[in-house]
A = this chain, B = another copy of it.
């Protein structure tokens, strides 16, 4: 059915460049970005993005090519994202907390045309000689600013993106290691804009908003609010990374209305600002820490009054929001208006209400694919649904409770038992300090559930009592057949080492279709 007189939907393709072009025209003198001593209006930002696009294009960046960012938060990171969107390229800010080996592996995997970098002591231009390395924090002649200065300003008008725009990735975020290496989730431009629209409406973003980008921009959480602020015509303020003293000074100086502040930072700020020398009253932020919240604005937004929800990088951010509707029964709120969220068994059948299963979703925000991982992509999007590999349950009011990462499934006869659910139940027993649940081979039932428990110091509890505790709270088939006590759980990289547990406690025979997915 060709109906549209050959326009191929161009008038419906909204891109990141549209927000920038609109504000550059309608709010040209409004401050768009602040980063240290750098300030730029929307007109200036649009001009710089034009020149960054020209610099990247001259370095060989075409549609679909990768541009990596290897540095802290900076207004130039934001410029590079917008320039890549303009070129149809894929922009990926790397995690600067990574070690040399992780970085090298991710850079080699991405095969970038350009790496925009600063010295972090973990990777350098020697790493990937095929790419053009552009250092951004220098006045050198081949640095970022010098290259920009050498480009003649081009126009800043937004172009209608090319055909296939609906399936175009613009941002790649690396997520938890799978099979020992990080995977890059490719996020679609259209989905990022829709997520930014939702977040902006809940945060009540407008040209009067000033958002402090102090959370890491290699994560979707901060980036969603960065884009929401852009879409609304607000101001994005950047600091290299979160530092309580700098956050206080910048919030006070720029009268920031929003910021990505987690509890530990809030605690540091409270200690630092006991004398009230920093005026944080512009912040419409709630952390749950009363002393911090008291320093901020009495005004809240729908988001800040009830922040949070369930999401993941591969889903392009949040799939549920606590701010939607009245206080939810579930821990993580209701499905986004642009997401269909289900809780299913391994055959993609809905589990009964209140039962635990895998959270799957359909939403324009979910990733297009993992970069270079076709098999893993096919597995995560099997059956036309995005598989989160996380466990949850739908409560009576339709809200979602996030139970934990799915990790492995234990198969007891025809029943699926999720160790995370049994662990969560056992952890509520006062005598239990730590617990891990595994499946051990069973000639009749395929597997039996076995719990390895570390008791609280001085606690006195028997295996039978813990089994009874589970029977009282879970379906009977989920209760452990065996409970053993240990002095500690084996760990690797800070996480419980389930392979070691299996080896030590006879685990095995896990259903072949679903293997280990560390979250």
B-binding residues in A (CB < 8 A): 1, 3-7, 9-14, 18-19, 21-23, 25-28, 30, 64, 158, 160, 166-167, 169, 186, 188, 190-191, 193-194, 196-198, 200-202, 204, 206-208, 228, 231-233, 302, 324-326, 334-342, 350, 353, 361-366, 368-369, 371, 374-375, 377-378, 381, 384-386, 394, 397-398
20 contacts between A and B (CB under 8 A): A4-B381, A5-B378, A7-B378, A11-B362, A11-B363, A14-B340, A18-B340, A18-B362, A23-B398, A25-B394, A30-B398, A160-B384, A193-B337, A194-B194, A201-B201, A201-B337, A206-B326, A207-B325, A207-B334, A232-B325
Which of B19, B302, B368 interacts with A204 by CB under 8 Å? Answer: B302
In the bound complex, how far is the Cα of B10 from the Cα of A366, in angstroms?
10
In the bound complex, how far is the Cα of B330 from the Cα of A207, in angstroms?
14
Chain B contacts of A6 at CB under 8 A?
378
Given contacts A11-B385, A361-B11, contact A5 B337 (CB under 8 A): no
Q: Indicate if the CB atoms of A207 and B398 lie closer than 8 Å.
A: yes
In the bound complex, how far is the Cα of B29 from the Cα of A453, in angstroms?
41
Q: Indicate if the CB atoms of A394 and B14 lie closer than 8 Å.
A: no
Number of copies of this chain in the oligomer? 2
Given contacts A334-B206, A368-B9, contact A340 B4 (CB under 8 A): no
In the bound complex, how far is the Cα of B339 from the Cα of A361, in angstroms?
26
Chain B contacts of A232 at CB under 8 A?
324-325, 337
Could you list 20 further interchain pairs (A-B, Cβ under 8 angstroms) beyond the known A14-B339, A207-B325? A1-B64, A4-B369, A5-B375, A6-B378, A7-B381, A11-B361, A11-B385, A12-B188, A18-B340, A22-B335, A22-B341, A30-B398, A197-B336, A200-B337, A201-B337, A206-B325, A207-B334, A207-B398, A208-B326, A231-B337
In the bound complex, how far is the Cα of B153 from the Cα of A495, in angstroms?
49
In the bound complex, how far is the Cα of B324 from the Cα of A207, in angstroms?
9
Among A23, A202, A233, A384, chain B packs the most CB atoms within 10 A around the CB of A384
In the bound complex, how far is the Cα of B26 from the Cα of A478, in angstroms?
24
Chain B contacts of A28 at CB under 8 A?
353
Chain B contacts of A231 at CB under 8 A?
337
Closest B residue by C-beta to A190: B364
Q: Indicate if the CB atoms of A362 and B200 lie closer than 8 Å.
A: no
In the assembled complex, how far is the CB of residue A72 from the closest CB belonging to chain B, in whole angstroms? Answer: 28
List the 9 closest pairs (A to B, CB-CB), nearest first. Answer: A206-B325, A5-B378, A160-B384, A10-B384, A18-B340, A197-B337, A26-B398, A3-B369, A201-B201
In the bound complex, how far is the Cα of B377 from the Cα of A375, in angstroms?
42
Which of B193, B337, B353, B361 interacts with A26 by CB under 8 Å? Answer: B353
Closest B residue by C-beta to A371: B3
Chain B contacts of A366 at CB under 8 A?
11-12
In the bound complex, how far is the Cα of B386 from the Cα of A170, in angstroms?
25
